[in-house]
Structure 1
């Protein structure tokens, strides 16, 4: 009955429907889908997709198809926490979310093929990836090379080498128990301004005097001092968290960065 009503009546009725009901009606035909999009306005600017479809953030695949088909152009931020993601949803995000700028993705062996399409989208400037449940090692090869802000959690051995090619990065946060020598890797990023990392495999027999020409903020977590710290001629903020250090280590930091340093935050064990 509703699909046969004049458009002005349909639009008026949509005002009184719940989101779930609107999504159901929007699946009936294209006209109702357009009415849905009209009433949604900027509701899906930040789209959060949880794992449980019965929660407020849990949409069924059909509901997501509707949102992405009719409202995809309004989506600027997306958080995808679902273990399984149909390839079609990845295609819809790639095709319709033309204004997507920020994505938070939980990458798993089940959804990686669909979400590779998302991480490679040219417009994404800020990307956060949790790859704890992904066993592959090629994901970072698919990251948009123009990404400016990247957060990586639980990357596996060897993936960090692909970071070197992301030369447009300005902000990088790498949290992993398996990463190796991030000081060397990040010295290949000429625009890097903010860098955060936790303890990585540190080759003590190699001098770590790498140059970070634009770095202004450096945060190190769970390291053991002393360290061969990188050369950072513009460093303004240096943060040490849960790090074993002493007065001599503080003196080394001040002597190395004292000319430019404005903030020194230390929370030692």
Structure 2
């Protein structure tokens, strides 16, 4: 699964960079999404595989904090990217005449920069607050990686501030981006149904289909983790649900975008052909 994640997302990036007709805001954001998926998978899976191979499930305190910091950083950045991509589709479908003016390269780069900076701040804040907690001697995390909620549970000191901040950040930051996605698609649907041509409706919906599937996969697995941890007392089931959230969406995203996008399929064929000729 890790190899598929890395190779799939790397091919997406190479295809977008090498093909001139893919140099548009939509594919620029998609390349950033693929890069984020690679980083999210690399943050947790290699250490997990080493632990399985070596039969040693230990991780250092510094390593655990680093893993938490990078996980939340890239998870929130992907959250922002999905909202930005929804806004991009909203402008393209609802305001097509102003698309090139609104989604200019400078504005697109600014959106990525602001999203990355805010995600870094959140990742650092949530992980550095763990330094204020004192931990007991027996530290066993019931997960395949250092999950923030599981680490907070191990604290001997009062973790109330950590819980409040974690839930506040998740609801405010995640809720804002999710609300933006929902609003964008409400506007898109209402605009599409006003189109007189059925062919025009199909074309508009087809450009949003891949992104909508990725959004459902990302938030669906995230809510699945939350629900499973709330309704089950089994640490193993919660750990498996967390694994699904941290691995499956990143592996599936390249397939979703490549199989549903004709331009992307053609670009990937060219990239694979070039790589095959070199090898």
User: TM-score, normalized by length of structure 1?
Assistant: 0.20
- Which protein has greater RCO, CA pairs closer than 8 Å, 6+ apart? 2
Q: Which has the larger strand fraction?
A: 1
Larger radius of gyration: 1
TM normalised by structure 2 equals: 0.20
Higher helix proportion, which one?
A: 2
